[in-house]
Amino acid sequence: MVSSLDGFISKKDGNVNWLTSTDHYEKGITLSEEEVEAFIKAIDCYVMGSRTYEKALELGWPYGEVPVIVLTNRDLSSNRENVTFYAGDLDELVNDQLKPKYRNIWMVGGAMITKDFIRLNLADDIIISIMPVILGEGTLFFDYIGQEQTLHLKDVTTYRDGMVELWYEIVKKEN
Ligand SMILES: NC(=O)c1ccc[n+]([C@@H]2O[C@H](COP(=O)([O-])OP(=O)(O)OC[C@H]3O[C@@H](n4cnc5c(N)ncnc54)[C@H](OP(=O)(O)O)[C@@H]3O)[C@@H](O)[C@H]2O)c1
């Protein structure tokens, strides 16, 4: 997920201009097109909430033919063959339906389903990219998750445009 420094993943008015930055950080890196392509190619499946899905339709579909699972309790439909809709138990979705088929499952967001996946111990990693901006209002990545979660910092990458990517592994609790 991409976040502002004050923890927002979307603005109240839906404006996405803040997702691109004109900042310049000399020591940061820039990914080549090949590197971005390889990263995207490694994703086997996307999972997202219906609001994130509707935003993606509005902005221009970025997921190509990769399988996309949209969580919704509404009766939504799509003419894209790679889009399926799911309602209900997230543990069953991940462990029974997705894990046997896919290795790299990417939770696109938004905030609502991200929190549920962390709470239910269904996420392995969190990658959060902080843009050099304070938005002041909008949808918070973590408003109130209601439980403590220990993390292991796996990697930090700083980008030329001032974005800082933090990659955490979720330290699984012993049952
Ligand atoms: N900055 C980023 O990296 C980033 C990434 C992703 C999204 N976003 C932004 O975040 C915003 C959306 O986030 P959000 O938190 O408001 O919404 P969201 O998580 O995208 O979607 C919430 C919806 O998902 C459905 N849902 C959630 N859990 C479900 C379950 N267990 N079973 C069935 N349906 C379930 C419900 O849909 P129904 O109401 O249809 O039943 C719920 O209203 C958008 O503006 C998007 O652009 C930002």
C-alpha of residue 8 to centroid of ligand 1, in Å: 14
The percentage of the chain sitting over the pLDDT mark of 90, rounded to a whole number, equals: 95
Ligand 1 atom closest to Cα of residue 90: 31
Residue 136 near residue 155, CB atoms below 8 Å: no
Which string of DSSP letters, residue by residue, matches 88-118?
S-HHIIIIIIITTT-SSEEEEE-HHHHHHHH
- Indicate the burial class of 92 (C-beta count within 10 angstroms; 0-12, 13-18, 19 or more): exposed
Place of tokens 């967001």: 109
Percent of the chain with pLDDT over 70: 99
Mean pLDDT of 64-81: 97
- The answer to whether 125 touches 168, Cβ cutoff 8 Å, is yes
Ligand 1 centre from 34 Cα, in Å? Answer: 30
Tokens of 45: 């499946």
Pocket test for ligand 1, best of 1, 2, 10 (most atoms within 8 A of CB): 10
Structural domains of the chain, ranges and CATH numbers in brackets: 2-7+36-170 (3.40.430.10)
Instruction: Please give the Cα distance from 1 to 23 (Å, whole number).
Output: 19
pLDDT tier for residue 175 given thresholds of 50, 70 and 90: low
pLDDT at 172: 87
Nearest alpha-carbon partner for 129 in 50, 55, 21: 21
User: What is the average pLDDT across 116-122?
Assistant: 94
Q: What are phi and psi of 27, to 5 degrees?
A: -85, -5
User: How many angstroms separate the CA atoms of 161 and 71, rounded?
Assistant: 33
Q: Which band of pLDDT confidence, cut at 50, 70 and 90, is reported for residue 173?
A: confident
- Per-residue pLDDT reduced to its tens digit, 30-65: 999 999 999 999 999 999 999 999 999 999 999 999
Are 86 and 69 in contact by the 8 Å Cβ rule? The answer is yes
Per-residue model confidence (pLDDT) at position 97: 97
Q: How far is the CA of 57 from the centre of ligand 1 (A)?
A: 13
pTM of the model: 0.96
pLDDT in tens, 130-161: 999 999 999 999 989 999 999 999 999 999 99
